Structure 1
Amino acid sequence: MRRLHVDRSRQLRAGQTDAEQWLWYHLRGRRLQGWKFRRQHQIGRYIVDLVCPDAGLIVELDGGQHGDQLIYDEYRTLELEALGYKVLRFWNNDVLKNVEGVLEVILEALASPAPHPNPLPEGERE
């Protein structure tokens, strides 16, 4: 099963959309203030577009086909958040027309870490 995900990740990297390529250009090689991102990375049963493991941040890019799968995307986001990740979603068009604005939102999210998936009850916090 692991091999299947590795092969699928390679396929997805080879067939990136223009928006994925453009955003990856700005994120790869620690170009965004030193943050390390990975693309087409497996988390749980999903392969996410981009992830910054150190910050627990997932960035998903949605094209026109995602308009027809909003419920699936919402469920997927909830599952990833349950694993402790913060998920940002952008339309491909936003990346292509306003990559600086997208990068600004990503930087803001990097500054505020993802909430712990299993927080302690109110009375047990330090």
Structure 2
Amino acid sequence: MDDPKQPTWNVSPSLRRHARELRKKSTEAERLMWGELRDKRLNGFSFKRQVPIGPYIADFACHAKKLVVELDGGQHFSDDGERSDAARTAAIEARGFRVIRFSNHEVMTNRAGVLQSIADVLAARVLTPTLSRKRERERAKRAAKPRSDAGAANDQGDE
């Protein structure tokens, strides 16, 4: 499997071409959802469509909140499709993203509900900013130091 620490934008030219083809051949549900997510229309969050992430291409991704939105057609509801989706979700989540899924039918019949669900996940998704390597080493050193008894006694408070 690919290295989960590898940047998401470092993808092969063939995968990039495949993503471009998928953008040209999007389903009706994907076109409707893209109309709602593009140009920061959903609470000011920027989404991209057909985004290569590792060996997969996510339907929609918000990099700022590390959120992937997948739209599933009928083929996803077979046993093989569900196993494949579980492996795909695990690989994408290993790269720090959260994956949420909706059926094409949900998008077509309850678009407002789907958008509200996405907005709720975006609002709840608080990301910790990454530290520089130097600051990470300093934090690790502080965490590795044993605490003194006096400091531990102060943490107890007055009882």
Bin the TM-score by the shorter chain: 0.7 to 0.9
Deviation at 1:115, TM superposition (A): 7.3
Q: CA RMSD in A?
A: 1.5
Which residue type is aligned with residue 4 of structure 1? S
Kindly indicate whether residue 31 of structure 2 is the aligned counterpart of residue 21 of structure 1. yes
Structure 2 distance, partners of 1:114, 1:59, is 17
Structure 1 distance, partners of 2:83, 2:127, is 23
Which residue type is aligned with residue 17 of structure 1? T
Q: Where does residue 106 of structure 2 map in the other structure?
A: 94
Higher-RCO chain (CA-CA 8 Å, sequence separation at least 6): 1
What TM-score comes out, normalization by structure 2 length? Answer: 0.70
Kindly indicate whether residue 53 of structure 2 is the aligned counterpart of residue 46 of structure 1. no
- What is the 5 A alignment of 1:55-66? 55-66=65-76
SS at match of 2:100: strand
Kindly indicate whether residue 47 of structure 2 is the aligned counterpart of residue 37 of structure 1. yes
When Rg is computed on C-alpha atoms for both structures, the one with the higher figure is 2
Per-residue CA distance 1:88-109 (angstroms, 9 max, x = gap): 0000000010100000000011
Identity, % of aligned positions = 41
Structure 1: segments with no counterpart, 5+ residues? 117-123
Structure 2: segments with no counterpart, 5+ residues? 1-10, 129-142, 144-159
Per-residue CA distance 1:18-37 (angstroms, 9 max, x = gap): 00000000000001111000
Deviation at 1:114, TM superposition (A): 6.7
Structure 1 distance, partners of 2:50, 2:40, is 16
Contact 1:56 1:114 in 2 (8 A): no
Kindly indicate whether residue 13 of structure 2 is the aligned counterpart of residue 10 of structure 1. no
* Higher strand proportion (structure 1 or 2): 1
How many pairs does the alignment contain? 117
Contact 1:95 1:102 in 2 (8 A): yes
Deviation at 1:112, TM superposition (A): 1.7
